[in-house]
Amino acid sequence: MGRLVMMWWLCAAVACGQSLPKNPSRCGDPMVRKAILQIAEDWKAGYNAGDPEKVASLYVEDATYLTQHFATGIVHGRAAIKAYVKKGTDAKYKIDSLAVLTSGCSGNFAWAITRYESMNGGHNGFGVNLVLMKKTGGKWLIVAHESAVPDEATAIKTLEMEDPTQRKER
């Protein structure tokens, strides 16, 4: 439960920033940024190779994966994450691209927001992820992962925002 609360606060903090500039890093440590990019690359490579074990090895033992593609929405534990990923790899789903849009770090924690494009069951799709990582035993591993796939039929297409420079004093 503590991880879910931490993930919620991280989502809220990121959302307060409104829009995300392209490829910003809010982490001053280039080694952490490199680790974040490596995790994304390893995730994509393992998935596309049909290797759920490789993907699962990127997570701590008691990691949580939140996804609308599972009946309860919550996949908990490395073994369950491996079984979940196996469903996709067995179906021969592929990730065409996986980009880190923004990331940050503080101490032994790091986070990344990513966007992927994929071909699943003959359909092109895309989704976004929020990934929380922790350095444990000298290695960066995923502790929480949330995946969201927008529903094009019901998704809000544009946002009308007030220009803060045009506000009048009240």
Give me the CATH number covering residue 65. Answer: 3.10.450.50
When pLDDT is cut at 50, 70 and 90, the band that residue 25 belongs to is: low
When pLDDT is cut at 50, 70 and 90, the band that residue 17 belongs to is: very low
Q: Do the domain assignments include residue 6?
A: no
Q: Do the domain assignments include residue 101?
A: yes
| Each residue's pLDDT tens digit, 60-105 | 999 999 998 889 999 999 999 999 999 999 999 999 999 999 999 9
pLDDT exceeds cutoff 70 at 140 = yes
Residue 142 near residue 58 (C-beta atoms within 8 A) = yes
When pLDDT is cut at 50, 70 and 90, the band that residue 13 belongs to is: very low
pLDDT exceeds cutoff 70 at 145 = yes
* Mean pLDDT (the chain, rounded): 85
When pLDDT is cut at 50, 70 and 90, the band that residue 168 belongs to is: low
The secondary structure of the chain, three-state, reads CHHHHHHHHHHHHHHHCCCCCCCCEECCCHHHHHHHHHHHHHHHHHHHCCCHHHHHCCEEEEEEEEECCCCCCEEECHHHHHHHHHHHHHCCCEEEEEEEEEEEEECCEEEEEEEEEEEECCEEEEEEEEEEEEEECCEEEEEEEEEECCCCCCCCCCCCCCCHHHCCCC
For the segment 31-59, the average pLDDT, to the nearest whole number, is: 97
pLDDT at 12: 37
pLDDT exceeds cutoff 60 at 16 = no
Q: Do the domain assignments include residue 164?
A: no
Q: Do the domain assignments include residue 3?
A: no
When pLDDT is cut at 50, 70 and 90, the band that residue 122 belongs to is: confident
Q: Do the domain assignments include residue 88?
A: yes
CA quadruple 76, 92, 140, 115: dihedral sign = negative
Q: Do the domain assignments include residue 158?
A: no
Q: Do the domain assignments include residue 8?
A: no
pLDDT exceeds cutoff 80 at 35 = yes
Q: Do the domain assignments include residue 2?
A: no
Can you say how many angstroms the Cα of residue 32 is from the centroid of all Cα atoms in its chain?
16
Structure tokens at 64: 């949580």
Q: How far apart are CA 96 and CA 85, in angstroms?
A: 16
Number of domains in the chain: 1
The residue range of the domain holding 103 is 23-151
